[in-house]
Structure 1
Amino acid sequence: MSRRGARLTDAQRLDWLRLIRTENVGPRTFRALINQFGGATAALDALPALARRGGGSTPPRIPSRTEAEDESAALARMGGRFVVTSDADYPPALRHLDDAPPVICVRGSAALLAAPKIAIVGARNASAAGRTMAARLARDLAAAGYVIVSGLARGIDAAAHAASLDAGTIGVFAGGLARPYPPENIGLIEEMAEKGAVLSEMPLLWEPRARDFPRRNRLVSGMSLGVVVVEAAERSGSLITARLAAEQGREVFAVPGSPLDPRAGGTNRLLKTGAGFVTEADDVIEALAPLLAHPRPDDVEAPVSPRDAADPPSDTARARIVELLGPVPSSLDELVRLSGSSASEVQIVLLELDLAGRLERQAGGKVALR
């Protein structure tokens, strides 16, 4: 997929927006379509036929060019802009995820998006001590040059954002930028848009649902070098963020708490399983120093050239590939080897099933039937 250094025209940017807003197209499917067809325009043209061959009863809904222009204009009126993976101000660490959103909506500072970041997350029903600790960590880490990232929730998130507001902090929405949540943080969100940044991968008017919060959490951890958890119960969204951070290769830290406080159950368990022990900002700064000394080089890929439309696989080949799929995830290499088909044929069948709503793409490039 297009990376830093591969610039998109205005028309291409609109087609990227149309493609990622298309029904049944998520970040991994978007990447597969771009790699298969060489660009968003060709992928959009191919979508109806792909979904039909995949068994879809109706073609996926594709936003019109006018709808994409309207969303772009509405974001601009809010003082925002779209940032794509090829833009210099796309968060560098986020770009490396295999489910990195190809397009994000941003209000605020481009410089902050490129700066090194640390996420601070925790309980919504945080104690006074927890909020004080989150604020202290946020101020000290911001003074050391880190941008604080969190999810704009009540409690720990809000305390970390407010404490690092003057230095610059980034908030990630679960819904669209025109649907701030929770309502009591709207004032804080507006200040962050002026002094820091807020962003979302969702359409502007998207109302956040329960399943959107884990999606948001992967962005909070994905754009950060590490995640600090301050107060989290045994079953909490903050532990989801910590798990995602570990899967993404990020550092995970936790602040210890009283065994008598259920809000410390999750953080104490993280410490038992190897999370970094944090009682002050220096604990985080020292642990992350080697990463700053040897930053991961940013990927630079040449623009993908449009490809000739490949012939769809035969019915026999398609049947062999579909037969190999099931609820247990399989890799592309396994499907190629066991089906006897080419990688391109397997990719096309997977895209057909995906756009028909029958495929689930998972981490590591694995796929399973729904």
Structure 2
Amino acid sequence: MTQDRLRLARTEGVGPALHRRLLARHGSAAAALAALGPRAAPAREAEREMALLEKRGARLLFLGDPGYPPLLALLEDAPLVLAAEGDLAALGRRGVALVGARNASAAGCRLAEEMAEALALKDIAVISGLARGIDGAAHVGALRTGTTIACIAGGLDRPYPRENERLQRRIAEEGGLVLSEAPLGTAPLARHFPRRNRVVAGLSLGVVVVEAALASGTLITARLAVENGRTLFAVPGHPLDPRSRGANELIRQGATLTETAEDVLLHLPEAPLPRPALPLAPFPDIPRAAAEDPAPPGDGAAQVLEMLGPVPMMVDELGRRCQLSRPELAALLTELELAGRVESLPGNRVARLP
């Protein structure tokens, strides 16, 4: 019975290993719940969740069922249940994760959009975490030509960050898919993001890192991918940009250097590798705050600096991505140039100074 299976999956302390033991010992979810007694998740909560999911047009995918993502099921700690909103056909395509910095440069976002668009055109499902920066850009690019899968840290009804609420709705309504292993109403707390990252990696045949600092949540996804036999790709970045140090280090350790979608398609396998392909060295500890989306910049100058890097970019594109008018952007760039933070270059281009 679906309700019994959901209750067992939502019971606190019942992870994949204990779940397997309970079913092996008792034979069914109903019998396992009876053995757990008052520890089991209440029936009324499961009923309520199922009713709300049905109202949203979402459905539940249980580990072991035919509709459950087969690559994700290979993980030892695969989620017992996923709430899915959108087109389940996206799970039938080969998947490539495209992840990176939340405080991404405008150039990085542009590359992520264009690579996702090209991959989706080749019938690849582009997978990411619906965060700011690279994740959001990847989803947007993929929707132009194909499909995308967004894996979120909270419940389906708790979009995060808030500015991506419309994008989450677009994904669910325009042929993409939104997945969450959390119950409805679950707030996206910092401890939930590494679990979200394992779903991103687990759904994918390959993971592309576009921009990532050495101490960043993106490297959690990269490590999980390698540990589970997924192919790792990384886009090289400018050595003076700290957002590129993680990706550059991955290349140094053996990740496939990637500049275009063709680089990914050329090296993407048909199935996960039987063992880790790269012996990744330890990375610096990731601060607690890095596991969670940072707050958006508080003013225009901070937003402009966040978007810029050492690689020059066109001022017009910077204005579009920052959503600033030309007079506003011109004033900010003048102020930042006088302060020695940016440099104006020929061809109406600008770069951030180290």
Checking the alignment, whether the CA contact within 8 Å between 1:151 and 1:220 is kept in structure 2 is yes
Partner of 1:216: 196
Checking the alignment, whether the CA contact within 8 Å between 1:18 and 1:65 is kept in structure 2 is yes
TM-score, scaled relative to structure 2: 0.74
Partner of 2:327: none
Which amino acid in structure 2 is aligned with residue 193 of structure 1?
A
Measure how far apart 1:29 and its partner are: 2.3
Measure how far apart 1:136 and its partner are: 1.2
Q: Please, which of 160, 169, 178 is the counterpart of residue 190 of structure 1?
A: 169
Measure how far apart 1:41 and its partner are: 1.4
Checking the alignment, whether the CA contact within 8 Å between 1:172 and 1:198 is kept in structure 2 is yes
**1:238 equivalenced with 2:227 (yes/no):** no
Which residues of 2 match residues 298-309 of structure 1 at below 5 A? none
**1:44 equivalenced with 2:64 (yes/no):** no
Equivalenced residue count is: 272
Measure how far apart 1:30 and its partner are: 1.8
Which amino acid in structure 1 is aligned with residue 259 of structure 2?
T
Measure how far apart 1:64 and its partner are: 2.5
TM superposition outliers: structure 1 runs of 4+ over 3 Å:
none
Which amino acid in structure 2 is aligned with residue 71 of structure 1?
E
Which amino acid in structure 2 is aligned with residue 225 of structure 1?
L
- Aligned counterparts of 2:162 and 2:252: Cα–Cα separation in 1: 36
Which residues of 2 match residues 1-370 of structure 1 at below 5 A? 12-48=1-37, 60=39, 62-166=40-144, 167-195=146-174, 196-288=176-268, 291-292=269-270
Which amino acid in structure 2 is aligned with residue 197 of structure 1?
L
Checking the alignment, whether the CA contact within 8 Å between 2:234 and 2:258 is kept in structure 1 is yes
Deviation string 1:289-317 (CA, Å, 9 cap, x unpaired) is: xx32x689xxxxxxxxxxxxxxxxxxxxx
- Aligned counterparts of 1:151 and 1:247: Cα–Cα separation in 2: 19
Give the 3-state SS of the residue equivalent to 1:211 in structure 2. Answer: helix
The higher-RCO structure (CA 8 Å, 6+ apart) is: 1
Checking the alignment, whether the CA contact within 8 Å between 2:229 and 2:272 is kept in structure 1 is no
- Aligned counterparts of 2:41 and 2:272: Cα–Cα separation in 1: 39
Give the 3-state SS of the residue equivalent to 1:100 in structure 2. Answer: coil
State the superposition RMSD in angstroms.
1.6
- Aligned counterparts of 2:107 and 2:74: Cα–Cα separation in 1: 36
Which amino acid in structure 2 is aligned with residue 147 of structure 1?
A
Which amino acid in structure 1 is aligned with residue 191 of structure 2?
R
Percent identity, please: 53
Give the 3-state SS of the residue equivalent to 2:233 in structure 1. Answer: strand
- Aligned counterparts of 2:212 and 2:162: Cα–Cα separation in 1: 22
TM-score, scaled relative to structure 1: 0.71
Measure how far apart 1:160 and its partner are: 0.2
Gapped runs of 5+ residues in structure 2? 274-354
Measure how far apart 1:208 and its partner are: 1.3
